[in-house]
């Protein structure tokens, strides 16, 4: 298996997002190889090296999130995180729309208060 370096994005500069297949493969490899290592960090380093992942901590985070999703660890599940992100985006959009409506309301209120010259 050829290790691919995922440290950089497509432009070679900013960090790229790892494909979900890589995350799943890393978690699976970690779970299978864990018995061969004395610590979780050592196992994560090994998996990160094999897959060309920039940091073993990234692998550990994926494993922890997988454990949360499976109910083996307490925390916020991936589905809950996605819902929270969606609600935050929606809330920000509603705040922007509310700001626009307030500005429009103030503008039209000022127009009504001006004396009408006929």
Phi and psi angles of residue 7, each rounded to the nearest 5 degrees, phi first = -70, -25
The pTM for the full model equals 0.69
- Domain residue ranges in the chain: 1-75, 76-118
Name which of 21, 29, 22, 20 is nearest 5 in CA terms.
Answer: 22
- Residue-level pLDDT, tens digit, the chain, 118 residues: 555 555 555 555 556 689 999 999 999 999 999 999 999 999 999 999 999 999 999 999 999 999 999 999 999 999 999 999 999 999 999 999 999 999 999 999 888 878 776 6
Residues 6+ apart with CB under 8 A from 56: 41, 44, 45, 47, 48
CATH classification code of 1-75: 1.10.10.10
pLDDT at 77: 97
Name which of 24, 46, 28 is nearest 36 in CA terms.
Answer: 46
């Amino acid at each position: 298996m050829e290790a691919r370096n995922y440290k950089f994005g497509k432009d070679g500069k900013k960090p790229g997002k790892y494909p979900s297949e890589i995350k799943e493969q890393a978690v699976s490899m970690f779970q299978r190889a864990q018995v061969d290592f004395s610590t979780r960090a050592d196992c994560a380093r090994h998996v990160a090296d094999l897959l060309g992942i920039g940091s073993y901590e990234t692998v550990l985070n994926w494993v922890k999130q997988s454990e949360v999703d499976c109910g083996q660890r307490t925390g916020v599940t991936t589905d809950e995180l996605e819902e929270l992100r969606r609600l935050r985006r929606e809330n920000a959009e509603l705040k922007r729309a509310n700001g626009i409506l307030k500005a429009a309301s103030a503008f039209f209120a000022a127009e009504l208060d001006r004396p009408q010259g006929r």
